[in-house]
Amino acid sequence: MLNFDEDRFLKIQGGAVALRQRLDAVIGQCLSAGAENIFFLGTGGAAILMQPALQLLQRSSRFPAYIDLPAELVLTGSAHLTEKSIVVMPSLSGTTKESVALLARLKEIGATVITLVGHENTPLGQGGDHVFVNFAEDDTSCESFYLQSLFIALSILHHRNEIRNYDEIVTELDRLPALLLEVKRAYEPKAENFARKLAASDYHIITGAGNVWPQAFYYGMCILEEMQWIRTRPVHASDFFHGTLELIDKDVSLVLFKGEDDLRPLAERIENFAPTYTEKLLVLDTAALDLPGISKPVRALISPILLATVLERISAHLEVMRNHPLTTRRYYKRVAY
């Protein structure tokens, strides 16, 4: 595979899976101690990656779950954010400015803070009540953060007796690192062609629904915009027919992500509409990816992980054909802002 270290990938995703039991124990302790809600409070891309876990809890549990922006909470607070709150703060660097600022506020409030970081010797790596460290880099962090947040959501469902097949689900998830590697290998021959089509346009509308919508938002903002300087318009599939459809013509690129949860029909609606009006429809469908031994319910849960793992292959080809390394920045962590 192009510019890819298989052993490093397995180590990082295996590291995320290895955190599951301790995450489950910490969540169990928090609930036993009377926790009343959970907040996912990341910044930027890391925050977006928490959204599938939030969706799972909001649709499957009566335990209140929230997502908010640290930059806003520092200024406004929240009536729901109390000493009875569990706060999950993801940050690959462990130094994200807005999240570090909120951490001090959380200490004053008395909330229980769980930090998910890639580096321990950092403000967030040292500042959480429960710190979970799994080294990763930009090309491997999506799957890692998706897995860790999914384990947290499943643990809440498990301890509240809101899920029947917890043990079966996590047993399947334990096998995921090796399976994801095989997904990458199988998709590699297709990745260059998909990347070539992305490179052919300097503007993309990118859309999806359900638990893959966050990956559409993330890929548009954090990869195509931040790492490739390609303009995008991420729009949720539910909103596509309420404005954005008017931008579609034969020369407008539309990128559609399809997952396998109950919201798949929203993506299919766009897929049925678009070919009549644009010659540049790109569809990435997790159902086309082979994942032996993984049940349909678990496939539905991990659709954003599957997208992330093949999009990494697409990005690897995109940076080469555009001669624009994914690490190149003009402003991000380069100038004062």
pLDDT, one tens digit per residue, over 148-171 is: 999 999 999 999 999 999 999 999
pTM given for the model: 0.97
Structural domains for the chain: 6-173 (3.40.50.10490), 175-321 (3.40.50.10490)
Per-residue confidence at 98, pLDDT binned at 50, 70, 90? very high
SS3 breakdown of the chain: % helix, strand, coil, rounded to 5?
Answer: 55, 15, 30
Handedness of CA 10, 99, 54, 18 (dihedral sign): positive
- Residue % of the chain over a pLDDT of 90: 99
Query: If residue 255 lies in a helix (H) or strand (E), which one and from where to where?
Result: strand 253-258
pLDDT, one tens digit per residue, over 272-290 is: 999 999 999 999 999 999 9
User: What pLDDT score was predicted for residue 321?
Assistant: 97
pLDDT, one tens digit per residue, over 237-258 is: 999 999 999 999 999 999 999 9
User: What pLDDT score was predicted for residue 4?
Assistant: 97
CA dist 156 → 35, 56, 159 (Å):
11, 10, 5
pLDDT, one tens digit per residue, over 22-44 is: 999 999 999 999 999 999 999 99
Mean pLDDT over residues 109-124, rounded? Answer: 98
List 115's β-bridge partners, or say none.
89, 131
User: What pLDDT score was predicted for residue 209?
Assistant: 98
C-alpha span between 188 and 284 (Å, rounded): 14
Residue type, 303: S
Mean pLDDT of the chain: 97
Residue in the structure block whose two tokens are 């200024």: 75
248: left (phi over 0), alpha (psi -120 to 50) or beta: beta
Mean pLDDT over residues 8-16, rounded? Answer: 98
Beta strands, E only, 1-123: 37-40, 65-67, 85-91, 112-117
User: What pLDDT score was predicted for residue 90?
Assistant: 98
What tokens appear for 3 in the block?
Answer: 């510019």
Contact 38, 68 (CB under 8 A): no
User: What pLDDT score was predicted for residue 212?
Assistant: 98
51: left (phi over 0), alpha (psi -120 to 50) or beta: alpha
User: What pLDDT score was predicted for residue 325?
Assistant: 97
Residue in the structure block whose two tokens are 């990118």: 206
CA dist 159 → 13, 36, 132, 256 (Å):
25, 13, 20, 36
Mean pLDDT over residues 133-145, rounded? Answer: 96
List 133's β-bridge partners, or say none.
117
User: What pLDDT score was predicted for residue 259?
Assistant: 98
pLDDT, one tens digit per residue, over 205-242 is: 999 999 999 999 999 999 999 999 999 999 999 999 99
Cα angle at 315 between 328 and 284, to 5 degrees? 145
